[in-house]
Chain A
Amino acid sequence: MSNSINALSLWLVVVWPLLLVIPALHSRLPSPRHLAILPAALLAVMPGDASHVLPWLMFGTGLSIEGDSRWILLMAVTVWLAAATVCNKQLAQNRSTVLFLLTLTGNLGVILAADLVGFFVFAALMGYGFYGLLVQGSDVAVRRAARLYLIFLIIADLALFEALLLAAFATKELQFAAVQQAVTETPLYLWLVFAGFVLKAGIWPFHLWLTAAFKSASQSALLLLGGAPVAMALLGMERWLPLGDTAVYAMGTVAQVVGVAALLYATLRFFTHMQMKTLPAWGLVATSGIFVAFIGTGLTYPAVWQQYEYLAYPLIAALGLLPTLVVIIARLEGRHQTTDVQLVDVSISWAAGWGRLIQQWLTKSLAGVQALAGFFETKALELPQYLHQWQTLLDDAERRLRRWTVAITLLSLLALAVALLAIG
């Protein structure tokens, strides 16, 4: 690609949706939300790498795309297209369209940002835009979730801003590669970056806004939750931290612990609070926990990271798509209004059904062997009762688990740590 086409194709991805923010423009166009994604979709399928820097923009900011980030861009295009299509009516209001386009610009800019400043600027735009999308509903629970998200976002941005300053002090070049090499001797930078992105991604124990949002936010916000704030924060971790170069033991270990804790906690909550709308939330918390543990491993063992680095982008892309897929499937099945998964009743009817089936099968096939058949028949008839007893026992256990999830997670972590130490 020639330089000018490079520049045009890259900058159009962020400039075009930003232009469409102007009400006089988007109100005159058919499907402005779909049109806004068009340059990004084209760039995602265009072959070859591209990069371009505008020296007069901010401190000299640029955009770039290469093989790995193309996957993330494809994920983002899919998620945003889904949101624009599925929630066409919800987003029809002028204010919703403006917020949608601002968040979209931020999200695409984050993916294409070639340096830390660009990433930070676009992430801020995305974050505040997404807050607007989240808070739109008049529901109290949504507002609470949005408020929490905003508080975490502001604190995260402050931490990342301070990290940016430390990076700029350590090296004049703010491209990702240059910073990754320069900051290994600046532990405060590493901690600030980690804390900032943990807050932004809603990693355990800062997942409260994420699960609350899943319970009550609008469908457009739900569709974007994985692809916009969570996936981009994990992308930030991957790009801002010095992975695969120098071992950073202390932070790597902390990241591993946080990641595993998030996974354990989300898994426990997943099985104890089975609600249709929060299933993707716990899925997200668990998956992002796996990613953080992966990052932690990369920080602790650079060689491991170099070997498995290629997994990072597909994992982020999958994580971004997760809530979108769940929401779309639920919508297609017309079950998105369902709240509680009827675990107990379903299990009992399942058990009773199987019991009857076994009973019939035994009665018919073992008719000649009366004694044996009678024995099986009796036992088969008692099976639902046994299962019910087990079910009651498990229910009790789950009720206890619900009360003690955090404690059990921490205990499990401790056990895991002891086991690891023992193995070590």
Chain B
Amino acid sequence: MNWNAWLPLLMVASSLLPGLVIFGLGEQRFRLRTALNLSGALAKLALVGWMLWGVYHGQHFETRLPLLPDLDLVLRAGPLSLLFVTLSAGLWLLTTIYAIGYLEGSPHRSRFFGFFSLCVTATVGVAMSGNLITFLLFYELLTLATYPLIVHRGTEEARRAGQSYLVYTLCGGAALLLGTVWLYTLTGTLEFTPRGFIHAVGEEHHLALVVIFILMIGGLGVKAALVPLHGWLPKAMVAPAPVSALLHAVAVVKAGAFGIIRVVYEVFGVERAAMLGLTGPLAVVAAVTIIYGSVRALFQDDLKRRLAFSTISQVSYIALGVAIAGPIATIGGVVHLVHQGLMKITLFFCAGNLAETLGIHKISEMNGVGRRMPWTMAAFTVGALGMIGAPPIAGFISKWYLGLGALEVGQGWVLLVLAGSSLLNAAYFLPILYRAWFRAPADAWPHEHDFGDKETAWALLLPPVITALLALGAGLLAAAPFSPLEWAQLISQREFYQP
């Protein structure tokens, strides 16, 4: 086994090992816990940098361990998996810093950070899985690792949200498992392959393939919050802000969306999926979700709830890009995996800052908050404008490629969906910005914490400012080397449309 064969495993272990150690730490071991958290996150980032360089230059990274007869546990670093791993690793570091500030002085921090690390371990496993069985294992581990984070506050509302999450995602997991086993009986393999691995399955299994596709996309659609499987996500916003950030931008919904990309491109193959008549209905479901999520977001006064419905809408851009089934739309969908993550995590960090610093939870309480917390609201503004698709922020690039991709394959109706969604995004984000920047502030904030002459704690302020700058940079420097867009183009060239 050469060095490159160990790296994917090391990548998973870099968060798993610190996580396991943290579980055993006492509450008072603040410094050691912080050191373990940060060293794990930094080690993962260093490994990501190494592998990015290697993959860009054609190196192959794969760990293969025997799991079952004829089935291995495979971890592989290709361009697509590294895109997701980079996002997770980068945002994990920032979310860890944020969580350290956010949970300062609160109970059960070791439990929280232990599961937090497990959650990232599972996400990286999902990203790097080289076959469906590995994917399924880490996918379920993600479900179980996230549940304690959702119920972390221990309130009745949190418990109910956790229960709902568990019911939805375990049912989704069961559907995915059923589809996987059925597919294995037809193909004899579960190895992710560019252009899919179901070529050998004959036309006589047409109906079986359609049902398997529905089972798999249905299973993944739960985490990706496709309508009508989205019900758990708005409820889960009762979790602490770092968990919400993790759920919405890094781990859970992204794992679902990433799974959809894998199933369409590397299980079925996009051409075969289109021939089976499956991409069209998927595009329609994604379009309905985009509009439905935006419409529901319009009527929410609770800030995190509005952001949750916004996630439902925005994540479906990824599914839409995949379902449009063209190389340019693929770029749009894949790059949105990163762009949405950067923008949405910024918004959730900011929502957390408002709650922690001023006790603001509702949009109606946000009048004039821009004067009190200018950096937080500047970051929020970048995130919100990016979600609308305002140039030059990252969201504009995603919408550009989705629209262009739709035109390329003659699906002009997608432009209407994009326009309608942008209009709705503007309708639910701009009033927030107006309130924050142009309304007179209230006489007193709901529950103000004293941070001296600072806006808020630096650990809370730094992450959203950095992610907002990253969202701006991802749009502004879209054509630069190693940008998410360039990486998405590499994925499109290497994985999906090579003969």
Residues in A lying within 8 Å of B, measured CB to CB = 55-60, 95, 117, 120-121, 124, 128, 132, 135-136, 138, 150, 154-155, 157-158, 161-162, 164-166, 168-169
Q: CB distance A121 to B407 under 8 Å?
A: no
Q: CB distance A57 to B477 under 8 Å?
A: yes
Q: Which residue of A lies closest to B415 (CB)?
A: A162
Known A60-B479, A124-B390, A150-B430; contact A158-B407, beta-carbon cutoff 8 A: no
| CB of B143 within 8 Å of the partner chain | no
* Distance to closest chain B CB from A349 (angstroms): 45
Q: CB distance B404 to A169 under 8 Å?
A: yes
* Distance to closest chain A CB from B22 (angstroms): 38
Q: CB distance A58 to B437 under 8 Å?
A: no
Known A150-B430, A162-B403, A165-B407; contact A136-B476, beta-carbon cutoff 8 A: no
Please give, as numbers and ranges, the residues of chain B lying within 8 Å of A128 by CB-CB distance. Answer: 385, 390
Known A58-B476, A135-B434, A162-B415; 8 more pairs at CB < 8 Å: A57-B479, A121-B392, A124-B390, A155-B423, A158-B419, A162-B419, A165-B403, A165-B404
Please give, as numbers and ranges, the residues of chain B lying within 8 Å of A161 by CB-CB distance. Answer: 389, 399, 403, 419, 422
Interface size in chain B (residues, C-beta < 8 A): 30
| CB of B466 within 8 Å of the partner chain | no
| CB of B478 within 8 Å of the partner chain | yes
| CB of B438 within 8 Å of the partner chain | yes
Q: CB distance B437 to A121 under 8 Å?
A: no
Q: CB distance B392 to A59 under 8 Å?
A: no
Main secondary structure of the interface of B (DSSP, over half): helix
Q: What are 21 A-to-B residue pairs whose CB atoms are below 8 Å?
A: A56-B477, A56-B479, A56-B480, A57-B476, A58-B475, A58-B476, A59-B479, A121-B391, A135-B438, A136-B438, A150-B430, A155-B423, A158-B419, A161-B389, A161-B399, A162-B415, A162-B419, A165-B404, A165-B407, A166-B407, A169-B404
Known A95-B437, A121-B391; contact A165-B479, beta-carbon cutoff 8 A: no
| CB of B184 within 8 Å of the partner chain | no
The contact of B415 among A57, A154, A165, by CB within 8 Å, is A165
Complex CA distance for A59 and B438, rounded to whole angstroms? 34
Please give, as numbers and ranges, the residues of chain B lying within 8 Å of A150 by CB-CB distance. Answer: 430
| CB of B197 within 8 Å of the partner chain | no
Complex CA distance for A95 and B368, rounded to whole angstroms? 12
Q: Which residue of A lies closest to B486 (CB)?
A: A56
| CB of B127 within 8 Å of the partner chain | no
Complex CA distance for A120 and B392, rounded to whole angstroms? 9
Give residues 405-434 of B contacting A (CB, 8 Å). 407-408, 415, 419, 422-423, 426, 430, 434
Please give, as numbers and ranges, the residues of chain A lying within 8 Å of B481 by CB-CB distance. Answer: 56
| CB of B168 within 8 Å of the partner chain | no
| CB of B400 within 8 Å of the partner chain | yes
Complex CA distance for A58 and B426, rounded to whole angstroms? 22
Q: Which residue of A lies closest to B419 (CB)?
A: A158
* Distance to closest chain B CB from A259 (angstroms): 27
Complex CA distance for A168 and B423, rounded to whole angstroms? 22
* Distance to closest chain A CB from B165 (angstroms): 35
| CB of B21 within 8 Å of the partner chain | no
Q: Which residue of A lies closest to B389 (CB)?
A: A161
| CB of B167 within 8 Å of the partner chain | no
Q: CB distance A120 to B407 under 8 Å?
A: no
Known A58-B476, A150-B430, A168-B404; contact A158-B423, beta-carbon cutoff 8 A: yes
The contact of A169 among B391, B408, B478, by CB within 8 Å, is B408
Q: CB distance A158 to B422 under 8 Å?
A: yes
Please give, as numbers and ranges, the residues of chain B lying within 8 Å of A158 by CB-CB distance. Answer: 419, 422-423
Give residues 369-401 of B contacting A (CB, 8 Å). 371, 385, 389-392, 397, 399-400
Complex CA distance for A95 and B372, rounded to whole angstroms? 13
Please give, as numbers and ranges, the residues of chain B lying within 8 Å of A58 by CB-CB distance. Answer: 391-392, 397, 475-476, 478-479
* Distance to closest chain B CB from A358 (angstroms): 58
CB-based closest 3 A-B pairs? A56-B480, A121-B391, A165-B403
Please give, as numbers and ranges, the residues of chain B lying within 8 Å of A135 by CB-CB distance. Answer: 434, 438
* Distance to closest chain B CB from A117 (angstroms): 8
Complex CA distance for A190 and B369, rounded to whole angstroms? 42
- A117, A128, A150, A165 pick with most chain B CB within 10 angstroms: A165
Q: CB distance B391 to A165 under 8 Å?
A: no
Complex CA distance for A161 and B400, rounded to whole angstroms? 8
Complex CA distance for A165 and B440, rounded to whole angstroms? 40
Q: Which residue of B lies closest to A122 (CB)?
A: B391
- Flag B432-473 by CB within 8 Å of A: 1 or 0 each: 001001101000000000000000000000000000000000
Please give, as numbers and ranges, the residues of chain A lying within 8 Å of B440 by CB-CB distance. Answer: 138
Please give, as numbers and ranges, the residues of chain B lying within 8 Å of A56 by CB-CB distance. Answer: 477, 479-481
Please give, as numbers and ranges, the residues of chain A lying within 8 Å of B408 by CB-CB distance. Answer: 169
Complex CA distance for A138 and B368, rounded to whole angstroms? 13
- A132, A138, A150, A169 pick with most chain B CB within 10 angstroms: A169
Q: Which residue of A lies closest to B407 (CB)?
A: A169
Q: CB distance B437 to A55 under 8 Å?
A: no
Give residues 167-211 of B contacting A (CB, 8 Å). none
* Distance to closest chain B CB from A123 (angstroms): 9
Q: Which residue of B lies closest to A153 (CB)?
A: B426
Please give, as numbers and ranges, the residues of chain A lying within 8 Å of B385 by CB-CB distance. Answer: 128
Please give, as numbers and ranges, the residues of chain A lying within 8 Å of B430 by CB-CB distance. Answer: 150, 154
- Flag B471-498 by CB within 8 Å of A: 1 or 0 each: 0000111111100000000000000000
Complex CA distance for A138 and B439, rounded to whole angstroms? 8
- B371, B389, B438, B475 pick with most chain A CB within 10 angstroms: B438
Complex CA distance for A57 and B483, rounded to whole angstroms? 11
Please give, as numbers and ranges, the residues of chain A lying within 8 Å of B423 by CB-CB distance. Answer: 154-155, 158
Please give, as numbers and ranges, the residues of chain A lying within 8 Å of B419 by CB-CB distance. Answer: 158, 161-162
Complex CA distance for A95 and B438, rounded to whole angstroms? 10
Complex CA distance for A132 and B423, rounded to whole angstroms? 19
Known A165-B400, A168-B404; contact A154-B426, beta-carbon cutoff 8 A: yes
Please give, as numbers and ranges, the residues of chain B lying within 8 Å of A136 by CB-CB distance. Answer: 438
* Distance to closest chain A CB from B57 (angstroms): 20
Please give, as numbers and ranges, the residues of chain A lying within 8 Å of B390 by CB-CB distance. Answer: 124, 128, 157
* Distance to closest chain A CB from B236 (angstroms): 31
Complex CA distance for A127 and B404, rounded to whole angstroms? 24
* Distance to closest chain B CB from A99 (angstroms): 9
Please give, as numbers and ranges, the residues of chain B lying within 8 Å of A59 by CB-CB distance. Answer: 400, 478-479
Complex CA distance for A157 and B430, rounded to whole angstroms? 15
Give residues 295-354 of B contacting A (CB, 8 Å). none
* Distance to closest chain A CB from B474 (angstroms): 11
Complex CA distance for A58 and B391, rounded to whole angstroms? 9
Complex CA distance for A55 and B390, rounded to whole angstroms? 21
Complex CA distance for A304 and B371, rounded to whole angstroms? 54
* Distance to closest chain B CB from A16 (angstroms): 17
Q: Which residue of B lies closest to A143 (CB)?
A: B438
- A55, A158, A164 pick with most chain B CB within 10 angstroms: A158
Q: CB distance B392 to A55 under 8 Å?
A: no
* Distance to closest chain B CB from A328 (angstroms): 27
Complex CA distance for A198 and B371, rounded to whole angstroms? 35
